[in-house]
Amino acid sequence: MAPLQPVSPGARVALGIAFFIVFVGLWALATLGGFVSKTFLADPITMVKSGWTLLAEMGFAKDIGMTVWRVLGGFAIAAALALPLGVMMGAYKPVEAFFEPFVSFARYLPASAFIPLLILWAGIGEAQKLAVIFIGSFFNLVLMIAVSVGNTRRDLVEAAYTLGSTDRSLVRRVLIPGAAPEIAEILRMVLGWAWTYVIVAELIGASSGIGHMITDSQALLATDQIIFGIIVIGLIGLASDLAFKALNRKLYPWAQLGR
């Protein structure tokens, strides 16, 4: 093992699985061994049984579906608007000078702070939850995409102009393709952030969703159900992250060299 030395795909999978095995083992030892009260932390066996009850008898699958829909819906709206604006800001400095101060200001505003206003403006329906995810994702996406496009290698830009490229074709054929692998990674990363925003939105004024189930379980001190909901969020997030990585490797294989 040496710094920055890559590992084989098989070893990476084995090491990742090994961590989860160790983590669950320590969790089981702490709870089943009586070191931690089950009132505060349910053991893995009780958590799995409660999770099965939630899925089989209490319609938790519908809550999962609602949360996934909210995440994908809010994130898709944010990405669809952030991509063109971010590209424009990265490519044209006057556009960047106009938008960047406000975007930099807005991205530090916590999305959860807008929930009272959004409930007032949009009620407690789906629009409010999509808006929370949009606010939490949009401004970060815009700024990160702008930085990625703006960091395009100058020699590529100069070569394109030397070969007779116009400003419009430079953006379309050099800046966007050059930044595309990094933009794809930005989308993957911010999608993970969107999961935190949707749970916060569902903790207040929701009648469905994983966050709603967690809130109800808190009132009953059902830590087994709370932990199951958290694990479901992590598993779905991990699955989406792996899918994003696989898609990026397929679309931009040259960008994976050396990783």
The parent domain of residue 192 ranges over: 42-256
Beta carbons of 152 and 174 less than 8 angstroms apart: yes
Entry pTM:
0.83
Span 81-114, pLDDT tens digits: 999 999 999 888 899 999 999 999 998 888 888 8
203 closest CA partner among 119, 139, 109, 106: 119
- Quote the DSSP letter at residue 233: H
| Shared-domain flag, residues 99 and 31 | no
Task: Give the count of domains, the chain.
Answer: 2
CA distance 172 to 177: 7
**Average pLDDT by stretches of 10, the chain with 259 residues:** 75 88 92 84 90 89 91 93 93 91 90 84 84 92 92 76 76 83 90 85 79 85 90 89 86 64
| Shared-domain flag, residues 12 and 88 | no
Question: What CATH number corresponds to the domain at position 240?
Answer: 1.10.3720.10
Q: What angle, rounded to 10 degrees, do the helices at 60-91 and 44-57 form?
A: 100
- Quote the DSSP letter at residue 79: H
CA distance 218 to 205: 15
| Shared-domain flag, residues 183 and 61 | yes
| Shared-domain flag, residues 157 and 53 | yes
| Shared-domain flag, residues 69 and 177 | yes
| Shared-domain flag, residues 171 and 251 | yes
Span 194-233, pLDDT tens digits: 888 888 888 776 778 888 888 888 878 888 999 999 999 8
